[in-house]
Chain A
Amino acid sequence: AQSVSQHNHHVILSEAASLELGCNYSYGGTVNLFWYVQYPGQHLQLLLKYFSGDPLVKGIKGFEAEFIKSKFSFNLRKPSVQWSDTAEYFCAVKGVDAGGTSYGKLTFGQGTILTVHP
């Protein structure tokens, strides 16, 4: 069974600090990887995703993530955070079959709450 582990439950930063949120997954095959963000009082939104190709993926709002297959990791980064980045971030994984079609269920990590102080 697949699983996802996010290293930090709560990260607190000042504006302009750099951010890296850890995500490791456990799965025996090919995967699609996702980062979702949930702003206070809002629904989950897709931040970025990796399906194939360049392992460095750029998403919305200046976020990026790097897929390192050998480490089963998909860490989220942002060089300079803003107060508006305060939210909860979820890493998720889904299996992919030999034809490149995703299958099975989307499995989420525990989430990391990011608090950015002005």
Chain B
Amino acid sequence: GAVVSQHPSRVICKSGTSVKIECRSLDFQATTMFWYRQFPKQSLMLMATSNEGSKATYEQGVEKDKFLINHASLTLSTLTVTSAHPEDSSFYICSARGPHSNQPQHFGDGTRLSIL
């Protein structure tokens, strides 16, 4: 089946650091990628949707200057949390899909981000 690789799986860093998370589709072309954030005991909340070569579309309440998304190729999207603070600590999950909206979304393993 389709595989989405997300790296790193866990990162711990100091407040003020910028952190980059990578999401790669290994065996299919990910025309569309999604970034989610999950708080403990809560649902996955969509942060943004990106189409290859275009600017990401952010959900209401998500700061685009804080969470920079780049989707420069059909196999790679990155999420950069700029100047991270403790309140940015969370579980971030990426998901990728082909060009048609009826196609299934495939999920990465997630990244546990801890800001000290």
List chain A positions with a Cβ less than 8 A from chain B. Answer: 4, 9, 32, 36, 41-46, 49, 51, 90, 101-103, 105-111
Main SS of chain B's interface residues? loop
Tell me which of A9, A41, A43, A110 contacts B107 (CB under 8 A): A43
- Known pairs A43-B4, A44-B93, A101-B101; A108 contacts B107 (CB<8 A): no
- Within 62-80 of B, Cβ neighbours of A (below 8 Å) are at none
Q: Report which residue of A103, A106, A107 has the largest number of chain B beta carbons within 10 angstroms of its beta carbon.
A: A106
Q: In whole angstroms, what is the CA distance A51 to B41 when docked?
A: 28
Min C-beta distance of A8 to chain B, whole Å: 12
Q: Is the CB of A105 within 8 A of B49?
A: yes
Chain B neighbourhood of A102, CB < 8 A: 101-102
Chain B interface size band reads 20 to 34
Q: Is the CB of B43 within 8 A of A90?
A: yes
Q: Is the CB of A106 within 8 A of B108?
A: no
Min C-beta distance of A26 to chain B, whole Å: 14
In the assembled complex, B104 has its CB within 8 A of some CB on chain A: yes
Chain B neighbourhood of A45, CB < 8 A: 107
- List 9 A-B residue pairs with CB atoms under 8 Å apart, sorted by A's residue number: A4-B43, A43-B93, A44-B95, A44-B107, A45-B107, A102-B102, A105-B49, A105-B59, A110-B43
